[in-house]
Structure formats: structure tokens, C-alpha cells
Amino acid sequence: MTMDNPSNPDSPNPGKGPVGQGDYIVRAGDDLFSIAYDAGHDWQHLWNLGANADLKRIREHPNRLLPGDRLTVPAITIKQVSGTVDAQHKFRVKNVPLQLLLRIMKPPDLTGQKAAQETDQEDAEEALNVTGADPDAPAAQDDTPWAGVDYTLDIDSVTLTGQTDGDGKITVDLPPGATLGTLRLNLAGRHADGSRTIPLFLGSLAPHHELTGIKQRLLHLGFDCGDTNNQDQSDAFAAAVQAYREKAGLGAGGIDDPLINKLLSDHGS
């Protein structure tokens, strides 16, 4: 399968590689929020710097950086303010809380594709479709949210518990600089698995115009495309692209703007 050039001339071609300028080189797991936090900046300040305009235009979102991207991170400047003595003065830190959004989808045996009582052990090991980083994602599934599932979410040293909402979603605030997490789903009485444990790699989602980013989003949506850590166009990747195009109603073809835009919309990031 060959890559089609996006029809929008302002869109970068898939596989363009690192972009931007500046002294800071993005590493695996970096996003603008963590970079700004470590440097003592508000992420919006870095995102809107004129020196980072090309990076902003191409990446389109601050959490879609590619290892090797470059950005300008200026030194912190000291601001002096005047105030009267023996009085209270309030200072407000500019900060926009960062949130993690996951969506849990029902597996095929609970959406009419196969009866739960007929599943064998191999079927029982089918992974759930989560818009996180499930390494065992199955073939494409029906888009049926799984509401009311009990979960435990560990992010760094923080443990959170709750239930998926009516749309199968989990929304939590992230600690600054968080990079790893573990999601545990309690499926007792719901699925033959009984439970599922899914590792989450925060900040590792590649830009949606990069081949690695396209592969990651396909995998998260349940389309197995092989190794997601390279730019290779394998037979598995080609099959995943065609399966997704068919499901999305895009017809036959390769990687183009309609597919990228639809994939970004379905994935949610």
C-alpha cells in the first residue's frame, strides 16, 4: 500500500518526521504540558511563542509531539511587583488542569457477534477496546460503550477508583509530569475474563499525521496493524487501513485526509 498525499496543501504529508526549531529536543513520552511544567512555564506560553509557530501549525495540538521535534523553551524571567507591607496579597498561578479520557467498549461477545457462553479460552483472552494503550487489542469491534464497569486506575503514586459513565468513559485529572499508568477493570459477572489489566503510556501518542500515530490510533480502535513503533507499511497495516476505511464508509484507498480526519475524530485525540 502506498501513502496518498493529503488533499489539503496546508496539511503535512504522513511520515514527515520531526519539525520545529529551538534548543529543546522532544524525547519519547514528552508532551508540551510536562515540558512546560519541568521548565516552570505555563504550557500555553510555550505553545503560543512565535518561535514555536511552525511546530504549533503542523502538530495542531500540544499533546501530539514526535520524538525529535524541537521547540524553544525560554529561560524563566523574574517579575517584580509592588505591594504594601502588613497586608495580604493574592497571586494566582496560571494553570489548566490536564485530564485523561479513556473510553471502554464492549468486546464482540457482548455485542451480538458471538454468545458469551460459547466462547472458548482463546475467545476469553480477547482484549477490551480502550482508547488507551492496550497491547492486546483485537480485530475491529462494534462501537458499543460499556457503562457501569468498576475500575481502579493507578497513575504514578495516585490510585483512583470509580465506574465508567453512561458512555463508557473515564475522565480523571492527571498529576503533572505523569507518564505511566495502569487501568484495572473488574468484570466479575460481566465477562469470562473476570478482570483486565491495561498499561497506559501517557504522552506516547504520536502525531496523527505520522505513520506511527496512525498505527497507534488504529490499534486503539481495535484494528491490529502489527508493530506500531516504526514507519513500515506492512501487510498487516495495509489490511488494518482497508478494514477501517470499510467500517468508516470511506471506500477503498490508502492514507489520505478523509481517513486521517475520521481516525482523529473516532479516536478523540
Q: What CATH number is given to the structural domain containing 66?
A: 3.10.350
Residue 49 placed within a domain = yes
Q: Which domain holds residue 218?
A: 209-269
> At 200, phi and psi to the nearest 5?
-120, 130
- Domain boundary (6, 36, 71) is at 71
Residues 228 and 252 in one domain: yes
Q: What is the pLDDT of residue 164?
A: 95
The pLDDT value recorded for residue 113 is 40
Does 8 reside within a domain? no
Q: Show which of 204, 232, 261 is a domain's final residue.
A: 204
pLDDT value, residue 268: 82
Work out how many domains the chain is built from and give that number. 3
pLDDT at 205: 84
Is 19 contained in some domain? no
Per-residue confidence in pLDDT tens, the chain, 269 aa: 444 443 333 444 455 789 999 999 998 888 888 898 889 888 899 999 999 999 999 988 888 898 999 999 999 888 888 888 888 888 777 666 678 889 888 876 655 444 333 333 333 333 333 444 444 444 444 578 999 999 999 998 889 999 999 999 999 988 777 888 999 999 988 888 789 998 888 877 888 888 889 999 998 888 988 888 777 888 999 999 999 999 999 998 989 999 999 999 888 88
Question: Which CATH number characterizes residue 260's domain?
Answer: 1.10.101
Handedness of CA 84, 85, 87, 88 (dihedral sign): positive
pLDDT for residue 14: 55
Contacts of 176 (CB under 8 A, 6+ apart): 33, 34, 37, 98
Please state, in angstroms and as integers, the Cα–Cα distance from residue 149 to each residue in 116, 169, 201, 220, following that order.
17, 10, 21, 19
Residues 231 and 244 in one domain: yes
- One domain for residues 111 and 187: yes
* Domain contains 18: no
CA-to-CA distance for 106 and 19, rounded, in angstroms?
38
- Per-residue pLDDT, 64: 86
Cell of 112: 451480538
Same domain, 112 and 195: yes
Residue 214 lies in a domain: yes
CA 25 – CA 69 distance, rounded (Å): 6
Looking at residue 94, its pLDDT comes to: 67
